[in-house]
A and B are shown apart, each in its own frame.
Chain A
């Protein structure tokens, strides 16, 4: 077999894919439950999900309250960081995997086009998440 070129790009994205895989595995299910289903299942009250509740959440009020006065400053950061991790991790993990789903249905010849598009979307989505999340006080 002719010596093939070392692929230096994929391992970088594979690294993000694995990191994202961990984040998604550990954090996503509980977030989906709390953010999407908990209210519908009557586990959390309306005050927590309506506009004011959502704003309080992203400002980190519950966390600040729980962490008390010494670690309270952390509380404001936590939800934003949490969102960025979930969105960025989810995108880099999911789109990397999705790339192989597309390869699998026969698009592996389009690698040169697919890779920049998919990883580009992941990067753009992550940037958007940072900008949006940290735009809240």
Chain B
């Protein structure tokens, strides 16, 4: 071989802060983070059920903690993430056409809009049905 050449493909390292470079990546990270809060809330409710099982004293102790300021704040944060999850999830599922209109997948905006409408209606229905209204 006449010519010896060096060649080292350069593999760049991704910084741990890659996601801060683009607002859409930030949103994505928050969406992913919502999973932590969803899981956390599932456990909190299990705890709540356990306390309710434990009788009136146990449940009152739980309620004192539940309606403390820090816990209220945490729950508000969890709610915010839950809403973020809902909205991004509707955007996501709009990409998977479950049905077709005149042979074409429905436009994403339509699917998202319909999902949001169903979401609001369903929430009101639950308030009415399970909680007997406000």
Contacts and interface: CB of A to CB of B under 8 A. Distances in A.
Interface of A: 21-22, 24-40, 43-44, 48-51, 54-55, 57-58, 62-63, 65-67, 78-79, 82-83, 86-87, 90-91, 93-98, 100-101, 104, 125, 128-129, 132-133, 135-136
A102 to B, nearest CB: 10
A93 B35 contact: yes
B79 A91 contact: no
A129 B87 CA distance: 26
Contacts of A97: 32, 34-35
Nearest to B78: A32
Contact of B59 (A22, A48, A51, A67): A51
Contacts, number: 151
B38 A100 contact: no
Interface string B117-134: 011001100111111101
Nearest to B60: A51
Interface size of B as a range? 35 or more
B6 interface: no
A21 B88 CA distance: 10
Counting chain A CB atoms within 10 Å of each CB, the highest count among B34, B60, B72, B82 belongs to: B82
A32 B82 contact: yes
A99 to B, nearest CB: 9
Nearest to A128: B46
Given A30-B123, A66-B128, A95-B35, A24 B82 contact: yes
B106 to A, nearest CB: 17
Counting chain B CB atoms within 10 Å of each CB, the highest count among A35, A51, A133, A135 belongs to: A51
A86 B86 contact: no
Interface in B32-84: 32-39, 41-43, 45-46, 48-50, 52-53, 55-56, 59-60, 63, 66-67, 72, 75-76, 78-79, 82-83
30 contacts: A21-B92, A24-B89, A25-B90, A25-B119, A28-B41, A28-B82, A30-B122, A32-B41, A32-B75, A32-B79, A32-B82, A36-B72, A43-B134, A51-B52, A55-B52, A63-B130, A65-B132, A66-B128, A67-B129, A78-B129, A82-B126, A82-B130, A86-B42, A86-B45, A87-B45, A90-B41, A93-B38, A94-B38, A98-B39, A101-B36
